[in-house]
Structure 1
Amino acid sequence: MNDLRIALVQMQVSIGEVRKNREKMAAFVEEAAGKKVEMILFPELCIQGYHREKIQEFAEPIPGESTNYLSRLASSYNMVILAGLAEMSGCEKPYITQVIAYPDGRLDKYRKTHLGKSEKPYFTPGNQLPVFETDKARFAVEICWDLHFPEVTTVLSLQGAEVIFAPHASPTMVGDRRDIWLKYLSARAYDNSVFIAACNLVGPSGKNQEFCGGALVIDPKGNVVAEDFEGKEGLLVVDLDSKLINTIRYNNTTSMRHSFFLESRRPELYGLLVKPGLIN
């Protein structure tokens, strides 16, 4: 991994007002470009807004109008953009997708694989855990509920992911976002020797929903690198120092202090993890 400057966006969105939301995103990208940001993360479903019951009428294909817009932004500002989109792709129900637009016009995507209980009637789960790459880092995406399943981060790290981007749409009613994130995101980062960069929607959406915001970066030792929990829109710019992760993962150190824990796994003991259902 090489040193990388990223930006995390806390954004208030308007349900179904795609053009308005995209214009707001463009303003954040322009601001980030002025700060020499190389990758920018927007929250879950930021393009159409998070509304389970109505999301199908706003869903878009990939490629489509919004991804074309993102590609133009990425090219204009020489920045990798990760943005949340409700994707319609031949299924009865849309996917919760994070689109990745590169400056050279390429598009990648990750479809949320673990849907919350209230999401299952309205969305289709994805079935792949891809890892992507730029000249600075290998990275992956986990969307909100995905992060509650430790195996996902482990699989991504084993595939070479060094940075996990974690867009959220977590409402205020759930509780203190910082306290909740630190309970499990620090463990995901530490156990798997990855950076985790999370951001959340913020403010009212106009549909009886309020989001609490939050932006947080945790390093491969589980330490907080940067955070913003002021509960308002904004851009958090963070430099990811590659020295620590390179020492842990690539320098073949014998130090216990810099162990890459996944090297010591014993997969033959973990058979229950791949069996469906709960075991009493």
Structure 2
Amino acid sequence: MRWGIIQWDVQRRMEENLHQVEHGLQTTALDVAVLPEMCLSGYLFQDAAHLAQAAREAPLFLEALEALSRQYDCAIIAGLPRQEGKRVYNSAAVVDAARCLGFYDKLHLSDLEKKLFTPGEKNRVFTIRGVTVGVSICFDLWFPEVYREQTRMGAQLFCCPVNFGGPQTLSVAAVRAMENAAPLVLCNRTGTERMENIQADFRGESGVFSSFGQRLTPKATGFLAVGAELSFPAVRGNVICRDLLAEVRRHEPIHTNKVGDKTT
């Protein structure tokens, strides 16, 4: 299967962003395409009312992604604001076979995001075309617990929509792949966004990383649609350990039923 990314300068107009997604699907054959974080609307918002307005476009955005999934016979993982009652989540929608399989809500929010978003409460994996996929969003990468838990939930691969400007996230992503012996697909955006006295610059450089943390796709700071063929061996290991998951299981939590009786 060919797993990849579509990277572009996300705009505040949904129609323009959908045009970029379709352009990427037209130019690169992908079985699964990962899009950037908040790629429906952009990242910065003046206040909660403007964020809620963007979230109200999410159903139309999802309908369009479902149509693209059908037309190009692919799965799509896309970042968007998702409203549930009075709460708005920074979410990733998982679309395949022309329907939405569900959402992952970002667990770990930056200080800026905490002013507007509600943090997610549940770690999740999804079955996409027979592969168990752990989905996360940007700052979640900085918490190895998220990925170890997804590994214990059966994740064979990680997909992560992101919005970042510094180089550190790329290093962290490579480590997350390596320490769990599972490939990782990372999709950033490009361009600059401004809101009042805040400016956010996004570096692009999205990519697919192997289970050894090696980049399998070229770097780019502009539009990029690219993929890589990935396989998922039954036993996951590295150069010093044939079965890494056996070692992971040694660290599973110990549950105590009663005093003096510990069971795993």
User: Aligned residue for 1:185?
Assistant: 173
1:256 is displaced (CA, Å) by 4.6
User: Structure 2 CA distance, aligned partners of 1:182 and 1:258?
Assistant: 26
Taking the TM superposition and a 5 Å limit, the aligned residue runs for 1:120-199 are 120-171=114-165, 175=166, 177=167, 180-199=168-187
1:107 is displaced (CA, Å) by 3.0
Contact 1:215–1:236 (CA<8 Å) still a contact in 2?
A: no
- 1:79 maps onto 2:74 in alignment: yes
1:246 is displaced (CA, Å) by 2.5
From 7, 14, 28, give the equivalent of 2:11: 14
Q: Structure 1 158/182 Cα, relative in aligned 2: closer, same or farther at 3 Å? A: same
User: Aligned residue for 1:277?
Assistant: none
- TM-score (normalised: structure 2): 0.85
Taking the TM superposition and a 5 Å limit, the aligned residue runs for 1:1-280 are 4-15=1-12, 17-32=13-28, 35=29, 37-53=30-46, 54-60=50-56, 64-92=59-87, 94-171=88-165, 175=166, 177=167, 180-205=168-193, 207=195, 208-228=199-219, 230-242=220-232, 245-248=233-236, 256-260=240-244, 261-265=247-251, 267-268=253-254
Alignment size in residue pairs: 247
1:72 is displaced (CA, Å) by 0.9
% identity of equivalent residues = 23
User: Structure 2 CA distance, aligned partners of 1:107 and 1:241?
Assistant: 23
Residue type of the alignment partner of 2:145: E
Give CA-to-partner distance per residue, 1:107-156, whole Å, 9 cap, x none.
32111111011110111111111111133411021100001011000000
1:104 is displaced (CA, Å) by 4.3
**3-state SS of paired residue (1:209):** strand
Q: Structure 1 88/182 Cα, relative in aligned 2: closer, same or farther at 3 Å? A: closer
Contact 1:139–1:163 (CA<8 Å) still a contact in 2?
A: yes
5+ residue gaps, structure 2? 256-264
User: Aligned residue for 1:276?
Assistant: none
Which portions of structure 1, spanning 4 or more consecutive aligned residues, are displaced by more than 3 angstroms?
205-209
Q: Structure 1 61/128 Cα, relative in aligned 2: closer, same or farther at 3 Å? A: farther
User: Structure 2 CA distance, aligned partners of 1:182 and 1:198?
Assistant: 9
1:21 is displaced (CA, Å) by 1.3
User: Structure 2 CA distance, aligned partners of 1:185 and 1:209?
Assistant: 20
- TM-score (normalised: structure 1): 0.81
CA RMSD, Structure 1 to Structure 2 (Å): 2.2
5+ residue gaps, structure 1? 270-280
Contact 2:37–2:188 (CA<8 Å) still a contact in 1?
A: yes
After TM superposition, the structure 1 stretch with the greater mean CA deviation from structure 2, 126-135 or 145-154, is 126-135
